[in-house]
Amino acid sequence: MFRPDDTIVAVATPQGKGSLGIVRISGPEALALAKGLLDHSAQLKPRYATLAKIIDHIQAQEPSGIDQVIATFFPRPRSYTGEDVVELSAHGSPVLLERIVGLALLQGARLAEPGEFTLRAFMNGRLDLVQAEAVGDLVNAVTPLQARMAFDQLEGTMTGLIASLDVRLFDLIARLEASLDFPDEGYHFIKTREVVQSVEELLKQVRELLSGAASGRLIREGCQIVILGKPNVGKSTLFNYLVGSDRAIVTSEAGTTRDLITEVIDLDGLAVTLVDTAGIRTAEGSVEAEGVSRARQAIGVAAAVVVVLDQSRVLGPEDWAVLEETAKMPRVMVLNKADCSRSWSSDSLVGGDRVVSLSALTGDGVCVLRETLREILVGIDLLRDTPRIANIRHINLLERAATALESAKSAANEAAGEEFILADLDRARTALEELTGKRTSDDVLQHIFERFCIGK
């Protein structure tokens, strides 16, 4: 596990060249160490940007300046980590930033582990565990919707709801324990009917949080959509239009696509891995057979499928085979080539599937397809104010809390003793405290923070 009592340093900006790069120093010796890097005229006042020079007092034969920086000192506890922090904003040369870090290491700092700055913020009470995880999600966000959801958690939206649940649960536990403390006197600080009602209200709120879990995970983690159909119905043309470039080869020859072609797109805020596949049919060779096999494997992990049908040609056995193979999956049936004369009507398709008529060549109708896919995956209203549970750790702990509350409700309905109800309520409260980090093992913390990038 990380050592919390030394001074750490790392580059806090992404790898690669840039106009600016930030070196962050945090710990009890941060200010003294930073002064050892800067020219003596630099006086670091709290929260003032100070223009200074980085001086190499160690490696050079004579002390020499290596860069001009903006140094900012954030005294504890009002800093990102809750410790003394100095941030050096230098020019964004990777070689230069590495040299500044190297000089700090020579003066006694230690290179920060991935996520160690945010871990210290958590350990020092600047963030709870939900907010700390949101920092990682915000850094890794690739769509505006992912960033918004992560920022909502960082702002404490989810934390506030969990805290509200915990306060009400604590009050219920306290009243039951008070009744348990005076069994002989016959005092009851809460009636059975009130216990059942209180637990039902708590359970309802936990279930409401869990109700958005599936769509929340899709927003946070992204998903895969597979484009299927027999050869030459326009799958690759549609794929290219959705991607916005000629990613897949398009010809009039059937079976051009032999392997899976993938591209990540922003589907109205969802990070979607779009997969173009080989045409589903009886293969004529080993290469094509492997392509068809891989297409079927992609179906197995897809969140939804797009079945492309050519409405300029009569549906054949291969079309019906694809429809049958995907019948139990979330899907959109795309009637392609709307710019051509139609040979059949969508009325011939049975079932409650969503049908979109479009032209992959001109793009007419593609916007409707995007909206339909979004509705299938996460519903219509992506921007509602209610926060969505998106982290699998949070989901598991809320499910544990819900199970414990269900057990407490049953015990109360059966007029079981206070001690049985309390045992279930304690289990529910433990799950909530693990969620926010009040009760969390070192192994869990390490698992969470080791996935962060260095410098954060």
pLDDT tens, position by position, 64-89: 788 899 999 999 999 999 999 999 99
pLDDT at 141: 87
Of 5, 4, 9, the closest CA to residue 86 belongs to 9
Percent of the chain scoring above 90 in pLDDT: 31
237 pLDDT above the threshold of 60: yes
pLDDT of residue 126: 92
Locate tokens 């809320």: which residue?
398
Lowest mean pLDDT among 99-103, 152-156, 259-263, 347-351: 347-351
Tokens matching residue 109: 């700092």
Instruction: Tell me the pLDDT band of 124, cut-offs 50, 70 and 90.
Output: very high
Residue 254 φ then ψ, to 5°: -70, 140
Q: How many CA atoms does the CB half-sphere of 366 hold within 13 Å?
A: 20
| 178-189 pLDDT per residue, tens | 877 665 555 566
Residue of 243, 321, 256, 259 whose CA lies nearest to 292: 259
pLDDT band (50, 70, 90) for residue 60: low
Residue 402, pLDDT above cutoff 90: yes
Res 194 pLDDT > 50 = yes
Average pLDDT, the chain: 83
Top-confidence residue, 204 or 343: 204
- pLDDT beyond 90 at 312: no
Q: What is the pLDDT of residues 241-289, one digit of tens each?
A: 888 866 554 444 445 455 678 888 888 888 888 888 876 655 555 655 6
Domains along the sequence of the chain with CATH: 8-124 (3.30.1360.120), 138-212+389-437 (1.20.120.430), 223-378 (3.40.50.300)
Condensed to tens digits (0 to 9), the pLDDT of residues 40-59 reads 776 889 999 999 999 887 66
Band the pLDDT of 413: cuts 50, 70, 90: confident
Which tokens is 43 given?
């006086």
The tokens describing 3, both together, are 């050592």
Residue 207 pLDDT level (bands cut at 50, 70, 90): very high
The pLDDT tens digits for 5-49 are: 899 999 999 888 888 999 999 999 999 999 989 987 768 899 999
User: Token pair 């020219």 is at which residue?
Assistant: 39
Positive or negative, the CA dihedral 58, 63, 64, 65 is: positive
Q: What is the pLDDT of residue 351?
A: 65
How high is the pLDDT of residue 218? 82
Taking alpha carbons only, the member of 256, 155, 245, 222 closest to residue 377 is: 222
DSSP assignment of 147-196 equals: HHHHHHHHTTHHHHHHHHHHHHHHHHHHHHHHHHH-TTTT--SS-HHHHH
Q: Does residue 291 sit in helix, strand or coil? A: helix
Q: How far is CA 282 from CA 40, 230, 291, 318, 358, in A?
A: 78, 10, 11, 9, 27
State residue 40 phi and psi, 5-degree precision: -65, -20
CA-angle at 334, arms to 333 and 338, nearest 5°: 145
